[in-house]
Amino acid sequence: MLITAASFPTPELIKVTNNPGQWDQQEGFARFQAEAANGSVAWLGERLGAVATRAERSMAFAQLYRNLAEWRFETAHRAGGRSPNSELEQYHQSIGPHEPRTSVFGPRLRSEGGGQLDFSTRRLTDGIPTPASRQSALIGTIIEARFAADAPDSLVLQNQIDLPDQRRVNGNLLLRGLAVAHERGIPFAIDELYATKTAEHTDRWTLQAEAFGLLADLEERRSAGQAPDAEARRAFVQATYYLYQGPEFVRGGDATIRTLLVAAHARVFDEALTVMQDVDIRAMTMSQRDFTEYAVQNYALAGPSGPAATAQQTAAHRPQERANGLERG
């Protein structure tokens, strides 16, 4: 089985223009992800073939996560210039215990010519809608629905996550109103502006360990000759949720996790997965239950794979190529 670029659809959230040429460039990054995923499957085959315990299998997936962070740093370095560069270093730099990361969502953000703060009106300026602005608006509605259901009178919603052993840990935070303003240094609340804030480092490490443990269990099933079933696929979805709720790296973590997931899926299920284009932001903002149901319904297998499919895909892509795709975040 050969993983192709079909496993990595371009996230709508990075399409901040309406320029098809820019979209073509962004789509080109999928070829680098496919190459890294194929190399990762080979690496897993060698590493997992030499281990015997659950802990060792879990450590193999954890090491792959770090290997792929180095790969993401190297691809960014090739596109962005020479080191040292503080922004480039963030691709393999861990999120600090007291340095949480925030991401903002809502209407008008990521539009062309809009999304700027107008202090006179206390709102964001309008712009030309883009795929990214529409995705940002959708995520804003998801966050608002979470507040309506779980914390109607609060500006901060603590996401809580159930683990396989019945423990519960804190995931990330969802913010709105003055809570977002405080994080961004704005003296007043802005309507329909929302944010996510990464979890505490101890909770993130717990979630990572649980994700790699689930992948280790799926590898044990594979080695025992057990065919994938609904329970196994839900376990993979849970691992996905844990990784996005407990990210490790300051920058580029989405591309790193997507590549890890496709490689791990190919290893434990012998199937090429097509990652959902919005897997990251949905896992960051939806409840565990809602994300699980959404992912079970929307995860898909890639189309035909193998040398013939790769050649066909490359031939179809060449006429539109305009850049190497390394600029993707």
Give the start-to-end residue ranges of the domains of the chain.
5-91+202-320, 102-197
pLDDT attached to residue 92: 81
Looking at per-residue pLDDT, the higher value among 89 and 301 belongs to 89
pLDDT score of 77: 77
Q: Is the peptide bond before 84 cis (omega within 30 degrees of 0)?
A: yes
pLDDT reported for residue 1:
84
- Statement: residue 156 has pLDDT above 70: yes
User: What does the pLDDT average to over 279-295?
Assistant: 97
Q: What is the CATH number of domain 5-91+202-320?
A: 1.10.3290.20
Who's near 215: CB < 8 A, 6+ residues apart?
A: 57, 58, 61, 236, 239, 264, 268
Check residue 318 and give its pLDDT. 33
Residue 302: its pLDDT value, please? 64
- pLDDT computed for residue 299 by the predictor: 85
Q: How far is CA 33 from CA 71, 258, 262, in A?
A: 10, 8, 9
The mean per-residue pLDDT over the stretch 93-98 comes to: 86
pLDDT bracket for residue 252 (50, 70, 90): confident
Residue 52 pLDDT exceeds 90: yes
Flag whether pLDDT at 314 surpasses 90. Answer: no
Query: How far apart, in whole angstroms, are the C-alpha atoms of residue 65 and residue 234?
Result: 21
pLDDT at 88: 77
Q: Residue 308: its pLDDT value, please?
A: 35
- Give 8-51 pLDDT, tens digit per residue: 999 999 999 999 999 999 999 999 999 999 999 999 999 999 99
DSSP string, 227-278: PP-HHHHHHHHHHHHHHHHS--BSSSHHHHHHHHHHHHHHHHHS--EE--TT
Residues 56, 58, 61, 62, CA torsion sign: negative
Q: What is the mean pLDDT of residues 260-265?
A: 98
E strand or H helix at 23: helix 20-27
Mean pLDDT for the chain overall: 89
Residue-level pLDDT at 81: 57
Question: Which runs of E-coded beta strand occur in the chain?
Answer: 102-105, 117-118, 123-124, 156-162, 168-176, 194-197, 273-274, 300-301
DSSP assignment of 139-179:
HHHHHHHHHHHH-TT-SEEEEEEE-TTS-EEEEEEEEETHH
Global pTM reads 0.89
Asked if the model's pLDDT at residue 55 lies above 60, the reply is yes
pLDDT for 93 equals 79
Of 91-95, 290-294, 312-316, which gets the smallest average pLDDT?
312-316
Higher pLDDT, 190 or 86: 190
Q: What pLDDT is stored for residue 86 in this prediction?
A: 64
pLDDT at 146 over 60: yes
Task: List CB contacts of 115: < 8 A, sequence separation 6 or more.
Answer: 108, 109, 124, 125, 127, 133
Distance between alpha carbon 61 and the CA centroid of its chain, in Å? 16
What does the pLDDT look like over 297-307, one tens digit per residue? 988 876 444 33
